[in-house]
A and B are shown apart, each in its own frame.
Chain A
Amino acid sequence: MLDANLTKQLRQIVGEKHYRDDQEALVSHSYDGTPMLQSLPDGVIYPENTDQVSQIMKALAAYKVPVVSRGSGSNLCGGTVPVQGGVVMVMHRMNKIIEVDMENLTATVQTGKITAEFTAHIESLGLFYPPDPSSMKISTIGGNIAECSGGLRGLKYGTTKDYVIGLEAVLASGEIIRTGGKLMKDVAGYDLTKLLVGSEGTLAIITEATLKLVPPPAFKKTMLAMFKDLYGAARTVSRIIEMKIIPATLEFMDNPTIRVVDDFAKLGLPLDMEAILLIEQDGDPEAVERDIAKIREICELEKADRVEVAETREHAEKLLTARRSAFTALARLRPTTILEDATVPRSRIADMVLRINEIALKYKVSIATFGHAGDGNLHPTATTDARDKEEVHRVEQAFEEIFEAAIELGGTITGEHGVGLVKAPFLEWKVGRAGMDVMRGIKLAFDPHNLLNPGKMFAKETRKRVVIERG
């Protein structure tokens, strides 16, 4: 329970309606998109502008009450579960596109804006904002920035961090800072913009972002290649890059995924394939045709069993269906779906997939893997049932070993979902003790009283998964 004087202040700042601590509000802000995690906050607040955020932070700081800022709560790392209670700050009301600057090709937007609505607006102006996380229909720009979301276009176009060039953020003290600007070059001091991108709400509350826009590609072509040999598929990925071709999309599905997808979408996929690659190139028509022809040659050289190049848009849509259905098909197998994002250098993809399959076998759990082959970002996806504690424990052991394998192969524990609560115990494996110390120092500089999203990123102990309450 929060101090009555504090809640009175909070209500004064945002208005009676926009601070809630009734049962319904608390329960419906106790979870996010991560399975098996739930923890009730003490209150939920919906600010309307930066000034209100600043006043709220000043009030909370005075009472040392923690705050979890969030958009739609669709993250997969437990990043917005209020594990230490406090106030959940929902940014949805701050959803204005403040400006699209056609001369500088930038957009300035409040961070509660839904990503898909933002990109639709940008595309209606003939421009392009490439980051496309699968959750973009509901996730917010602020959430994407906090988690540094990736997506299917990461290989060629980069991820959220490559498009954020300026930020407005409110510190734990309530002070407002502005970083970067409509600037393609800016080396004035430490790059706080990039530091805040991916900071998961632990350093500041991001209220406004200036984003870089690019011209849209004129033309796109889609193809599918199937392999009986996993290494053939992996070599194809490496060789495409070696030939200095950077496809817009280079997606991968392993055999268990192919089986599940075919069963779900009835696509008639050959079930004896070990891997399917979905490849797209965009750009000038001539260059695209040239690249696709070269990629086709590479696939054939690496003994692809079947290569299909879409000649029409409908055909392309059909090829894309296989990859697009992967998550849905897997999610329907069992009640609980745990989607991770271990990432390795792309040259090690085949090794990683084989390791994942061995690990799944060892712990007798079902794990299918698909993901973004071009950037080495894999989604090993376990299907289980949260009610079966024993099986869930084996799934957790398997993932621990998968993280370990990723690190061994020169990779990372998370490519695009973030650390949050779920991967905090493993962070030290990736960044080392000294790395952790530096990060703790940064956290302390921004948030000396540990009020901003406490319990995330920094685990009390390394390598022990935390499961709270009943999911």
Chain B
Amino acid sequence: MVNPDTLLTIPKKPDIEHANPLSRTMLAKLDYDQLTNCMRCGFCLPACPTFRETGLEPESPRGRIALMKAVVDGVMDPDQAFEDQMNHCLGCRACEPACPADVKYGQLIEQTRDAIEDHAEHSAPVKGLRKLFFKGVFPHRGSLKWMGRSLALYQKSGLRRVARGTGLMKLFPEHLREMESILPDATGKGVVERIGTVYPAKGEKIARVALFRGCIMDVMFADTNVNTVKLLSEAGFEVVIPNDQVCCGALHAHSGEMDQARGLARTNLKVFKEAGVEHIVSNAGGCGALLVEYDHLLHEDPEHAELAVWFAESVIDVSRLLVERGRLPEFADADVHSGQSVKITYQDSCHLRNVMKSSDAPRRLMKQVANVSFVEMKEADRCCGSAGIYNVTQPEMAGQILEHKMAHANETEARYLLTSNPGCLLQMKLGVEKHGVSDRMEVKHVVDFLYERIAGRTDDK
């Protein structure tokens, strides 16, 4: 229906010489087609957590896109309020499934943050921390392990007790103190150190797959990684865990460090291609969402574009792989109180749901467990406020969102609140602690919950 002749006459971007340097960078970096594609129907507004909390148009995807476009079009110069507003977005991308015009909001916000980061004048300590984390810790396996070991030492040596007891922790803002208190026991021993790089399939092999182990996952939730491998094995998959894999780059991409995100992606392409697998399995929605978009991340890199498409197509959420191709074992809950089934509920990982499009599979798995009744939580598809490092950078909004989330969680009266992403898991743990229901409700990763309930499982860790 489109006449190609007319397309040629359309200017791709406005022909403006911006005086403001950030406006210039945004004009260069933002996809103007996507800005034009937003038709301002407003259908994204009810899907947006920050709009729902504030009722304010600029706190909505439509509002944020209008602000971006106003900068690029030269209608306004970006000020501090503009930058704050862009950082106020959770990046949950719930607006994307709601958008009739298929506007790639996630890409626009990342491009904007990338442009802002190019001109950011961070204070010396912030600069140092950003460098330490983005360049020093996350890209390097060794540093991560060191961090894990240090954290483990802090937690186990009594230093934590000292820090808490002496009031040292009081030096930190309240929300960081709260976060510290719910961190699980870290470890320097990740999944590879525990079970090696290849784990055989039980019974006839269905396929050879690779585990994407993640950074936070392998330091904070190494047990979950081990359980993921074992659960896949039980379901008939041979699992390899390439030891040279690196951070997915999601935290970098969401914080405007696009070049570094691309560098990490290139390493992963190579490592996983060499592994010779049919699927690359993710058990963390936050990582998976960037992994499935490596094709977009590297679309301007001709040398890697093709491989990136292969990679993106190979990435799959663990629940989906189990449901679609696995030979599922029987799951049963042994904890039967007077014949009553155990109530469980689920908090969607936004990126798993909105980007990886996996919301049905985890639910189907959970419903298969005998002696368990699944209760759908109201607004389970809404962000919990964790959103990467959002709960650290935007504590006020994150806290408000969490409070509403916990009200819905409590309504379910569930014994277990399950999630599919480390960030959500920590946030929900924080919620359970803060709202004083930790004696009645336990937060777990879906994989752990399932693995622990494989009927007749002999292979205990």
Where the two chains meet, the residues of A that have a C-beta atom closer than 8 Å to any C-beta of B are: 22-25, 27-35, 38, 40, 46, 72-74, 90, 92-93, 114, 116, 135, 137-139, 256, 260, 327-328, 331-337, 364, 366, 383, 385-388, 390-391, 470
Contact = CB atoms under 8 A, between A and B. Distances in A.
Contacts of B9: 388, 390
Given A27-B58, A336-B39, 13 more contacts: A23-B79, A28-B57, A28-B66, A46-B55, A72-B42, A74-B43, A135-B42, A138-B45, A331-B39, A337-B101, A383-B1, A386-B36, A388-B9
Of B7, B9, B11, B39, most A-chain CB atoms within 10 Å:
B39
A438 B396 CA distance: 54
A73 B51 CA distance: 14
30 contacts: A23-B79, A23-B81, A24-B67, A27-B58, A28-B66, A31-B66, A32-B40, A33-B42, A34-B40, A38-B75, A40-B75, A72-B45, A73-B40, A114-B46, A135-B42, A135-B43, A256-B1, A328-B101, A332-B102, A333-B1, A334-B2, A335-B36, A336-B39, A366-B2, A383-B1, A385-B7, A385-B36, A386-B36, A387-B10, A470-B14
B124 interface: no
A205 B9 CA distance: 44
A470 B40 contact: no
B381 interface: no
Interface of B: 1-3, 6-7, 9-11, 14, 33, 36-37, 39-43, 45-46, 55, 57-58, 63, 66-67, 70, 73, 75-76, 79, 81-82, 85, 100-102
Contacts of A29: 57
Contacts of A385: 6-7, 10, 36
A33 B41 contact: yes
B75 A470 contact: yes
Contact of B76 (A23, A135, A137): A23
B39 A33 contact: yes
B80 to A, nearest CB: 10
State the 4 A-B residue pairs at the shortest beta-carbon distance, nearest first.
A74-B42, A328-B100, A335-B36, A28-B63
Contact of A331 (B11, B67, B101): B101
Contacts of A22: 81
B66 A27 contact: yes
B244 to A, nearest CB: 39
Contacts of B58: 24-25, 27-28
A332 B1 CA distance: 12
A335 B33 contact: yes
A40 B36 CA distance: 19
A291 B167 CA distance: 76
B14 to A, nearest CB: 8
Nearest to A71: B42
A371 to B, nearest CB: 16
A93 B54 CA distance: 10
B36 A336 contact: yes
A74 B41 contact: yes
Chain A residues touching B, majority SS: loop
Given A31-B66, A387-B10, A331 B42 contact: no
A33 B40 contact: yes
A135 B10 contact: no
Nearest to A470: B73
A85 to B, nearest CB: 15
Contacts of A23: 76, 79, 81-82
A337 B101 CA distance: 9
Contacts of A390: 6, 9
A25 B70 CA distance: 12
B30 to A, nearest CB: 14
Of A28, A332, A386, most B-chain CB atoms within 10 Å:
A28
Nearest to B13: A387
B258 to A, nearest CB: 24
A22 to B, nearest CB: 6
Nearest to B38: A335
Nearest to B98: A137
A268 to B, nearest CB: 20
A137 B46 CA distance: 7
A337 B57 contact: no
Nearest to B65: A28
B10 A388 contact: yes
Contacts of B101: 328, 331-332, 337
Contacts of A38: 75
A220 to B, nearest CB: 24
Contacts of A34: 40
Nearest to A114: B46
Of B10, B57, B67, B70, most A-chain CB atoms within 10 Å:
B57
Contacts of B41: 33, 74, 135, 331
A360 B45 CA distance: 33
Contacts of A333: 1-2
B85 A24 contact: yes
Contacts of B42: 33, 72-74, 135, 138-139
A138 B76 contact: no
Nearest to B81: A24
A90 B45 CA distance: 15
A366 B1 contact: yes
B46 A391 contact: no
A366 B39 CA distance: 17
Given A72-B45, A93-B55, A385-B10, A327 B1 contact: no
A27 B46 contact: no
A31 to B, nearest CB: 5
Nearest to B60: A28
Contact of A335 (B1, B37, B43, B55): B37
Contacts of A139: 42
Nearest to A368: B1
B67 A27 contact: yes
Contacts of B102: 331-332
A31 B10 contact: no
A364 B85 CA distance: 42
Nearest to A387: B10
A73 B60 CA distance: 13
B64 to A, nearest CB: 8
A139 B42 CA distance: 9
Nearest to B2: A334
A31 B40 contact: yes
Contacts of B76: 23, 27
